[in-house]
Structure 1
Amino acid sequence: MSDLAIPPGEYLEEVLEEMDITQAELARRMGRPPQAINEILKGGKAITPETALQLEQVVGVPAYFWSSLESEYRLVKAKEADAKNAEDEIKVISTYPYAEIAKLGLVAKTKKAIEKVRELRKFFGVSSLFHITAVKAYEPAFRQNERDSVSHESLAAWLRAGHILASKSNMEPFDKTKLQELLPVIRKLTFETEPGKLLTQLSAMLAKCGIALIVIPHFSKTYISGATYWMGKHKAVVMMSLRGSWSDIFWFSLLHEIGHILLHDKRITFLENGTKNPQYLMQESEADTFLRTH
């Protein structure tokens, strides 16, 4: 496909010239207003399937040719508009932790701003970086209020990274009973001091219960150790950042997040020190109580 936007009307004009037919005559033969034909020739009006069929009958060029030419022209024009929009989005890419996302292999390493825009669009699954704040999955990140210096964009990226990695995890459907039965076994793993061995065993256990354990470094200015959310009805995700002391922060956060899974609404994303909504704070308190009693 050519990157040059050529209106189908230009080719139609050549056909009319070869056939020695005027615009007015074409309009009469097609039963269309002369102004409509003029707009088609100038590229202002699209060639619809109905118009393509009429052109086939009048000038002998197949309808599929006109439709294909029109489709290609409109797509090139759309790409031109998208490129302009991408240029406008360059001003916000610095708010996202691009280098940290790239370290996880979730975006391509590049120094070109326009390429970063396109990579971030694919990473977040949006057609524009300006749409990220409106996506339901990222809303909790933009409500986070632990401190004024928190980067909501970094937090949204951290959550998205976890979502992508969790979607690749193989696990059984969520089983609440199995999770409750495994809690004592999970507790015993607190004596394991080798992080790699611990995470391997813990991930395998949780996967049997329908939980994806995603452990990735916290992104700059996220100030978060854990998060919990659901991907559908049968797959829970617990994200851990390993921020702070391994033994203290990790186990506190993990059991706290498991408490959310067992106790609370699957539609809610729970972030450490999230919104100050009274209902949310009550659920946080319930999760804290859970970790102290299990």
Structure 2
Amino acid sequence: MENKIQNQYSPDYVSPPGDTLLEVLEERRMTQAELAERTGRPKKTINEIISGKAAITPETALQLELVFNIPASFWNNRERRYREFLAQQEEKERLEKQVAWLKGIPVTAMIKSGWIRLCRDKVEQLREVLNFFAVTSPENWEGIWLKTHINFRKSQAFQSDLGAITAWLRRGEIEASEIACAPYDAKKFQEALQKIRALTVEPPEIFQLKVKRLCAEAGVAVVFVPQLPKTRTSGATHWLNPDKALIQLSLRYKTDDHLWFTFFHEAGHILLHGKRDFFLEGTGVASVNDQEKEEEANKFAADILIPPADLKIFLASVQQFSKANIIQFAAEIGIAPGILVGRLQHDNLLPPSHCNDLKQKLEWA
């Protein structure tokens, strides 16, 4: 994607509307005292408008229209542009002191991903990032994201970067906001999960759209967002509002067994743990340690993918695992063989180096 530098014209100075009023008075050879008398305004008020200390109110603009035959809209627009300029200057001065905050945000990666525009000016780049996060300052960003709790599977072996994690999560929210969903219905979602389980044997170009559609019909938005460097997340879930939940997936491990386990793990949080606020776990970020809920979500994912009773029969019927009996059993229960391989490896029943060619590798288009 081509990243174009964004240039915006911002004047360095906008004169106060009082300057224009003074020009009109001089042109008409009218004194401030006479204008005050004609408008019924105190002379002090007229003087303060000319000096920029007082604003031209809509009422004053109407009076100036009657006196000078210059439309009130002209004076109102002149005042508005001046006040906007003052506000922009104040904001620029405030943001100039906060530019250093960008060092903790993966700006380059976000630009490369097409999430934000590349701006030549550092203050404009800061405004672009704040707009992405829908906040007005780094302090507000911290107030939202450092206090936010999100259920998401994250490697405990590495320290993730908070800026990268929040950018990834925010991108998920943005994409989910564009997905039209029916009001959340737990029963419909459970039914959708059974249909989605059957999609594990399909390639991404088929299952991705069907997963999104089935979940949206039950009130859950599903988005696939590539992880940024140092994000190290595979999935996340939280409620966008009481009627709409979000499941966000990253393809961190790029194999079907990890993708599907992550998806059903996040689905488990939605079904088992209700409409909670964000819940974040892991190291290196603000977190809440709730191992019990993680274990519940893990069990939910494991059991829906491979029913315990079926697995017990399979384990009792084979003396040694082979690609043939793995493929056969996976076909019998209607899941991709890679999922079964991942489960056997996780349970230390199959060496990590065995049967990995049965896992489907996934890549971003």
Q: Does TM, normalized by the shorter one, top 0.5?
A: yes
Question: For the structure 1 residues 17 and 245, does the alpha-carbon distance in structure 2 shift closer, same or farther, using more than 3 Å as the test?
Answer: closer
Q: Is the partner of 1:213 in helix, strand or coil?
A: strand
Higher radius of gyration, 1 or 2: 2
Deviation at 1:183, TM superposition (A): 3.0
Q: Aligned-pair distance for 1:47?
A: 0.6
What SS class does the counterpart of residue 237 from structure 1 fall into? Answer: strand
Deviation per residue, 1:86-131 (Å, 9 max, x gap): 4333212221112332333221245653442232133222333443
Q: Indicate yes or no: 2:177 matched with 1:167.
A: yes
Q: How many residues align?
A: 290
Q: Which TM-score applies when normalising by structure 1?
A: 0.81
* Residue of structure 2 aligned with 1:283, choices 283, 293, 307: 293
Determine if contact 1:138/1:159 at 8 Å carries over to the other structure.
no
Residue 47 of structure 1 aligns to which amino acid in structure 2?
Answer: I
Is the contact made by 1:227 and 1:257 (CA closer than 8 Å) also made in structure 2?
yes
**1:30 CA drift (Å):** 3.6
Q: Which residue in the other structure is 1:102 paired with?
A: 111
Contact preservation (8 Å) 1:252, 1:291:
yes
CA contact under 8 A between 1:8 and 1:66: conserved in structure 2? yes
Greater alpha carbon shift after TM alignment, 217-226 vs 131-140: 131-140
Give a deviation string over 1:159-196, Cα, whole Å, max 9, x none.
Answer: 1100111122344443321221233343344455x455
Once residues 8 and 237 of structure 1 are traced to their aligned partners in structure 2, the CA distance between those partners, rounded to angstroms, is 50
Q: CA deviation at 1:60?
A: 4.1
Which residue of the other structure, out of 118, 121, 134, is the alignment partner of 1:125?
Answer: 134
Q: Which of structures 1 and 2 has the larger relative contact order (alpha carbons within 8 angstroms, sep 6+)?
A: 2
Question: 5 Å matches for 1:31-50?
Answer: 31-50=40-59
Would you say the 8 A contact 2:234–2:249 is kept in 1? yes
What are the superposed Cα offsets for residues 6-25 of structure 1, whole Å, 9 maximum, x if unpaired? Answer: 21111111222233332234
Aligned residue among 220, 224, 228 for 1:211: 220
Shift of 1:231: 2.6
Q: Is 1:180 matched with 2:190?
A: yes
Higher helix residue share = 1
Gaps of 5+ in 2: 1-8, 305-365
Higher mean displacement: 269-278 or 112-121? 269-278
How far does the alpha carbon of each residue in 1:116-153 deviate from its partner, in whole angstroms, 9 at most, with x for none? 22321332223334432234798337xx9x69943222
* Cα separation, 1, equivalents of 2:50 and 2:204: 69
What is the SS of the residue equivalent to 1:107?
coil
- Once the two structures are superposed, the pairs formed by residues 253-292 of structure 1 within 5 Å of their partners are 253-273=262-282, 277=288, 280-292=290-302
Which of the numbers 8, 30, 40 marks the counterpart of 1:21? 30
Contact 1:12 1:41 in 2 (8 A): yes
Change (3 A) 1:80 1:275: closer
